[in-house]
């Protein structure tokens, strides 16, 4: 278990970075004993290189959604994110995202959008509602609403610049400190503000996820700030990313209909 101190300000303290690095280095003999073999530093560096490249490719794919119409939606991203989550240091993951980026660019060149007649563009915050992805995608698409940016899918690529294969232990320590859930609610709000501007978004859906409370903390204030400061409709949608019993379909449909209407669709 590696303890990563919470980042309260803009930057982690050097003491915190040294603390995490020391834990990583001290874990090596334990892992060697469990695995029954010595750490291969050369192979570790290769994993670092592949991880950085895969993360960069993933981020490029997400940023292609700045185009109008967006070539893929966040619902596509939720499905395609599996390799960056589970297989980040594998060469197959780099190949997969290189091929996906090529396909996305082809869609842009041909003017193919994820949503036909894209009229409005929306941000998704927090984990997806996995068991109702199709329902949500189709409901919004029927109204010409494309969900094109997500703080969740972005989290798996935004730290790519911190990965340095030539100084792997130091960069691992920094990368593990800075995930979105290890920072304050103000940082997430700033991320959402930036995405609204960069992706030219017309609204935001914040999934208040009962099974991921750290991600849901502060969402009421974030919703209000987005609406007040940026003048966009922001919907707080209560559900659970895994437990279908927390999903009230009629209530969700009513709230989504009102949200779509508020965007002028």
Task: Kindly write down the DSSP assignment for every residue of 85-154, as one continuous string.
Answer: HH-TTSHHHHHHHHHHHHHHHHHHHTT--SSTT--EEEEEESS--GGGHHHHHHHHHTTTEEEEEEHHHH
d(CA 262, CA 265): 8
**Does 184 map to a domain?**
yes
Question: For the domain that residue 87 is a member of, what is the CATH number?
Answer: 3.40.50.11900
pLDDT in tens, 113-163: 999 999 999 999 999 999 999 999 999 999 999 999 999 999 999 999 999
Average pLDDT over residues 73-100: 98
What pLDDT is recorded for position 209?
97
Helix (H) or strand (E) holding 21: helix 14-35
What pLDDT is recorded for position 137?
98
What pLDDT is recorded for position 120?
98
Range of the domain at 98: 14-262
d(CA 21, CA 16): 9
pTM of structure:
0.95
pLDDT in tens, 204-254: 999 999 999 999 999 999 999 999 999 999 999 999 999 999 999 999 999
pLDDT band, residue 2 (cuts 50/70/90):
very high
Average pLDDT over residues 1-17: 95
**Does 4 map to a domain?**
no
Number of folded domains that form the chain: 1
C-beta separation of 123 from 195 below 8 A: yes
What pLDDT is recorded for position 73?
98
Backbone torsion region of residue 115, taken as left when φ is above 0, otherwise alpha when ψ lies between -120 and 50, otherwise beta: beta
pLDDT in tens, 33-49: 999 999 999 999 999 99
Q: Under 8 Å CB-to-CB from 110, ≥6 apart: which residues?
A: none
**Does 49 map to a domain?**
yes
pLDDT in tens, 157-202: 999 999 999 999 999 999 999 999 999 999 999 999 999 999 999 9
**Residue 252 tokens, joined:** 């969700």
**Does 240 map to a domain?**
yes
d(CA 120, CA 203): 8
């Amino acid at each position: 278990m590696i303890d990563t101190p919470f980042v309260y300000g803009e930057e982690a303290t050097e003491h915190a970075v040294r603390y995490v690095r020391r834990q990583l280095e001290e874990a090596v003999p334990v892992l060697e004993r469990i695995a029954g073999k010595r750490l291969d530093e050369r192979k570790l560096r290769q994993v670092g290189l592949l991880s950085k490249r895969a993360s960069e490719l993933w981020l490029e794919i997400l940023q292609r959604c700045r185009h109008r119409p967006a070539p893929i939606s966040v619902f596509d991203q939720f499905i395609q994110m599996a390799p960056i989550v589970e297989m980040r240091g594998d060469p197959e993951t780099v190949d997969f995202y290189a091929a996906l980026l090529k396909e996305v660019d082809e869609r842009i060149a041909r003017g193919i959008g994820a949503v036909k007649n894209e009229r409005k563009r929306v941000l998704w915050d927090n984990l997806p509602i996995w068991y109702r992805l199709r329902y949500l995608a189709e409901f919004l698409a029927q109204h010409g609403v494309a969900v094109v940016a997500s703080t969740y899918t972005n989290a798996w690529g935004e730290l790519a610049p911190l990965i340095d294969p030539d100084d792997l232990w130091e960069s691992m320590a920094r990368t593990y400190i800075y995930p979105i859930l290890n920072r304050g609610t103000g940082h997430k709000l700033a991320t959402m503000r930036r995405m609204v501007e960069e992706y030219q978004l017309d609204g935001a859906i914040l999934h208040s996820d009962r099974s991921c409370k750290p991600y849901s903390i502060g969402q009421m204030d974030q919703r209000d700030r987005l609406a007040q400061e940026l003048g966009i409709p922001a919907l707080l949608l209560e559900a659970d990313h895994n437990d279908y019993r927390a999903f009230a379909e009629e209530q969700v449909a009513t709230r989504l209909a009102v949200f779509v209407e508020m965007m002028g669709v």
